[in-house]
Structure 1
Amino acid sequence: MALTMSGLITSCAETPESSGQPHDFHPKVVLDDFLLIEGDGWSGSLTYLNYNEPEEEFSIPVNLGVGREGSVLKLALSYPDEPSADEVAEIEIYDEGRSMNGAEVISRDEEEGSIDIHTQAECQDNNRAAECLTIYELSATKMTISKRVTYDGETESFRRNYYEFSRPAPTL
């Protein structure tokens, strides 16, 4: 979910004091936030901006299975057209839920049946110092993970990659 101007105004207008939150209020996540996406049957695509000239977006199919191993969320990504790229990514939560994989949790919004989490961290992109914003949009049947990059000294961000998955609704 992209940050909208109304969201920016609302978040600026609401201070911890006016919202009843303590002064040290900080968005937090817990591993259970990811219960919505656990399981198999996810299929979708990865769209990414190629690092080589010309910098164009490419899309490839990808399948996903999500599970836990202790306190670590495991994302098993398989690329049918590029099996050598198959991988297991991990999500770990630190600092009492204030960071994920070394990135600061800057927002967490929960609506009926979905959770949106935004993290931000300094990073390197294409051998350049940058700020990376990762946006997780999670529900039981749809999930996206998007990475936006802003190079140091620049104000414009761009989308480096975007995972989009869906799966059938669970049967009850």
Structure 2
Amino acid sequence: MKACVTSLALIAVTACATTSTDVAPRVTSDDLALVDGAGWTGTLVYRDYSPPYGDVTLQAEVDVSVTSDGLLLDMRYPGEPSANSTDMLSVATDGSRLGGDPVVARKEDQGEVRITTRAPCEDDDKPAICEHIYTFSKARFGLRKTVKFDGSSDTFQRNAYTFTR
């Protein structure tokens, strides 16, 4: 009888441990709150779609507002004010999607949160897999997009915003 109870307890502990590690990664309201506010300055580096496909760097600024739908980004480019824009980075109510794509990874390290999304996309009129890496902290905010074309083993960076305050 004692062996039976011990076995059942071991099975129960194993089942609970298995269930807790199967939790899907999520973005939280606390993650978003880290980057809320004005005064972010930095750069946008993007890969040009035209030959020779080099990287272009622009100065960039952003004010971030947390809304019920996600993050409202007021983007400014001091050297190219005609490119200024306001964008919404949407977050699913349950935190399973960011920018419309599924959250596939979440990592926290020393006050910084890194969220990764991945989904099929189209880049340069070709089918691909796009991965977005978002970095949230009180002092750093980053948005990076990488692309891997279907049938290719190579991944390249399409663009990266890097901000500090």
TM-score class normalised by the smaller sequence: 0.7 to 0.9
Distance 1:164 1:53 in 2: 25
Equivalent residue runs for 1:25-104 within 5 Å:
25-94=23-92, 96-104=94-102
Once residues 146 and 80 of structure 1 are traced to their aligned partners in structure 2, the CA distance between those partners, rounded to angstroms, is 20
Cα distance in structure 1, aligned partners of 2:115 and 2:55: 24
Q: How many residues align?
A: 152
Q: Which residue of 2 aligns with 1:160?
A: 158
Maintained 8 Å contact 1:31/1:93: no
Asked if 2 retains the 8 angstrom alpha-carbon contact of 1:151 and 1:157, the reply is yes
Q: Distance in 2 between the 1:147 and 1:17 partners?
A: 37
Shift of 1:120: 0.5
Structure 1 residue 138: deviation in Å? 1.4
The letter of the residue matching 2:61 is: N
* Aligned counterparts of 1:155 and 1:82: Cα–Cα separation in 2: 35
Shift of 1:95: 6.1
The one-letter code matched in structure 2 to 1:113 is: G
| Aligned with 1:114 (options 105, 108, 112) | 112
* SS of residue in 1 equivalent to 2:145: strand
* Letter of the structure 1 residue corresponding to residue 117 of structure 2: T
Structure 1 residues not aligned, in runs of 5+:
1-15, 168-172
Distance in 2, Cα, partners of 1:18 & 1:70? 33
Equivalent positions of 1:127-142 (< 5 A) are 127-142=125-140
Provide closer, same or farther for how the CA distance between residues 17 and 138 of structure 1 changes in structure 2, counting only shifts above 3 A: farther
Provide the rounded CA distance (Å) in 2 between the counterparts of 1:140 and 1:109: 16
Q: Is the 8 A contact 1:102 1:121 kept in 2?
A: no
- Specify the alignment match of 2:147 in structure 1: 149
CA root-mean-square deviation: 2.0
> Could you tell me how far 1:25 is from its partner in structure 2?
2.0
Q: 1:161 Cα deviation (Å)? A: 0.4
1:105 aligned onto 2:91: no
Give the alignment's TM-score, normalised by structure 2: 0.85
